[in-house]
Amino acid sequence: MKLSTSTHLGRLQLGNRVVMAPMTRSRADVHGVVGEQTVRYYVQRATAGLIITEATNVSPDAVGSPLTPGIWSDAQTEAWKTVTSAVHAAGGTIVMQLWHTGRVGHSEVRGGRLPVAPSAIAIQGQKHFTASGPKDYEVPRALTTDEVRATIDDFETGAKNAKAAGFDGVELHGAFGYLPHQFLVDSSNQRTDEYGGSLENRARFVLEVMERLVRVWGEGRAGLRLSPTLAYNGMVDSDPRATFSYVIERLNALPLAYLHLMRATPDAERFPHWPKDTLATFGPLFRGPLIVNGGYDRDSAEAVLEAGAAHAVSFGAPFVSNPDLVHRFETGAPLAAGDRSTFYGGGEKGYVDYPALPRDAAPAAKGYWLVLASVTNPAQFGKYAALAGPTLASYGGRVLARGDVAEVVEGSMPRRPYFVEFPSYAAAKACFRSAAYQDAIALRAGAAEFDIVVVEGIGA
Ligand SMILES: Cc1cc2nc3c(=O)[nH]c(=O)nc-3n(C[C@H](O)[C@H](O)[C@H](O)COP(=O)(O)O)c2cc1C
């Protein structure tokens, strides 16, 4: 199964290719500070190969919706540290999605200040959620050129704070009609300065922000999310093929971790001149790793990976109600349905109370033999892999990412299983009986540190 194989996106190491898509849950406090529930929420989902956090505002001016978190103040940064350290302790990898909502906001949520945007053009035909109910969009205030530059600085500050908070990287939210997207698309950007007009000028904001993120984070730790064929929030570009091809080709000059691409949506059908297959149109243009998103299930995700069209697949709604989504994909267990009424805002209900399946269930047959190496912590596993890896490899064994099939508690010590995939049961047994293997794990490392069990009855 491709989804369960490890990979890396730039410098980000993923134990599997199931990425948790960014999801706003509106459970921060009024200062944009996340709390203990948010720590639990992300830890519950730490078996994802990569977690991308909910969109997080880079400045007070970036805020468009109530109770969304921020990353501009010390209190916000300190609170995020508790999330990253807990996710890392649980073996996860987590990047922060950086956000500026631009015109997708309302003065009611912004202390009376109008939303800002590239141009003073309101979103039509949609309403905005506020604490006092849905409201029509206001005409936003167009940013001055100096303010555009200051906003780019805000993204850099957000990226620095995210680093201080212990994240593994950052993703720019360049999708779904928020500020970076508003700059790209000509229905929302009619500026006459160097940030509007020509394609080069409209792309400048996103490219300059990405340069800053790379400057802060270095190679392979900054990603970008794009939705070239999504009309949501009034993103009706006259030529998305030209606009997004240009942006993606320019991105190739930067050492990004990944491009996170939304595939085609029904919107594309409404605009005859838009490309119908987003992934086929834009995916091959990007030379780095691609995460794809949008209505995937296990089989369609496997298919896109098998076709070599993406490195990883992100899942949004399925992760809300299935904290153990990776485990369910692995075992073929059914997915729990989510309650949409608790997606945005509220307390624990619909946030941290979706149960994981019992974790002592035997893994389903997967067509190969597995050896279970149960060690007490990830550092020990690294040692095990270093010592035993060459011997395992010589018998065709391949060390898989940390398994999420079972977590056994012995005394007070949780023991996490790891797996080695062998071409056959005979190869696994032969490897374990070999002098080289025994020497590697028993004599040099000390037998007591490792508890190796050949799992029988799994595989074909
Ligand atoms: C509750 C909810 C909140 C979301 N918030 C964000 C967000 O903050 N940033 C973002 O880029 N996408 C956001 N999305 C979109 C998801 O990342 C994803 O693109 C979408 O759910 C489609 O993927 P899926 O079919 O696997 O659910 C949100 C989706 C949901 C369901």
1 C-alpha to center of ligand 1: Å? 25
Q: What is the pLDDT of residue 434?
A: 78
Calculate the CA 95 to chain-centre distance. 7
Task: Measure 54 CA to ligand 1 centroid, in angstroms.
Answer: 8
How many Å lie between the centroid of ligand 1 and the Cα of residue 178? 13
Q: Do 255 and 228 form a contact (C-beta atoms < 8 A)? A: no
Q: What are 356-379's pLDDT values in tens digits? A: 987 644 344 343 455 555 555 555
d(CA 59, CA 113): 14
Q: Which of 42, 178, 246, 351 is catalytic?
A: 178
Counting as low any pLDDT under 50, the low residues of the chain are 360-368, 403-415, 443, 445-460
What would the CATH number be for the domain defined by 2-342?
3.20.20.70
Answer yes or no: 418 catalytic. no
* Cβ < 6 A, ligand 1 pocket: 21-24, 54-55, 97, 173, 175-176, 225, 293-296, 315-318, 343
Q: Write the residue with the smallest CA distance to atom 7 of ligand 1.
A: 23
Q: Delimit the CATH 3.20.20.70 region(s) of the chain.
A: 2-342
Query: Using H for helix, E for strand and C for coil, what is the string for 221-232?
Result: CEEEEECCCCCC
**Ligand 1 probe mutation, 23, 65, 226, most atoms within 8 A of CB:** 23
CA 419/CA 402 separation, integer angstroms: 7
Give DSSP secondary structure letters for 293-322.
Answer: ESS--HHHHHHHHHTTS-SEEEESHHHHH-
pLDDT of 408 reads: 42
Residue 366 is encoded by which pair of tokens? 């997967």
Atom number of ligand 1 nearest to Cα 54: 8
Residue type, 338: G
Q: What is the pLDDT of residue 433?
A: 73
CATH of domain 369-454: 3.30.70.100
pLDDT of residue 363: 43
DSSP string across 266-292: THHHH-TTS-S-HHHHHGGG--S-EEE
Residues carrying CATH 3.30.70.100, the chain: 369-454
Centre of ligand 1 to C-alpha 317, Å, is 7
Three-state DSSP class for residue 32: coil
**Are 397 and 420 spatial neighbours (Cβ–Cβ below 8 Å)?**
yes
Q: Return the ligand 1 atom nearest residue 176 CA.
A: 11
The answer to whether 49 and 132 have CB atoms below 8 angstroms apart is no
Tokens of 288: 């780095």
> Average pLDDT of the chain?
87
Residue nearest to atom 11 of ligand 1 (CA): 22
| Residue 31: its H or E element | none
Q: Which atom of ligand 1 is nearest to the CA of 262?
A: 19
Which residue's alpha carbon is at the smallest distance from atom 5 of ligand 1? Answer: 23
- Token pair 């091809």 is at which residue? 245
User: Distance between CA atoms of 121 and 394, rounded to whole angstroms?
Assistant: 64
> How many Å lie between the centroid of ligand 1 and the Cα of residue 192?
33
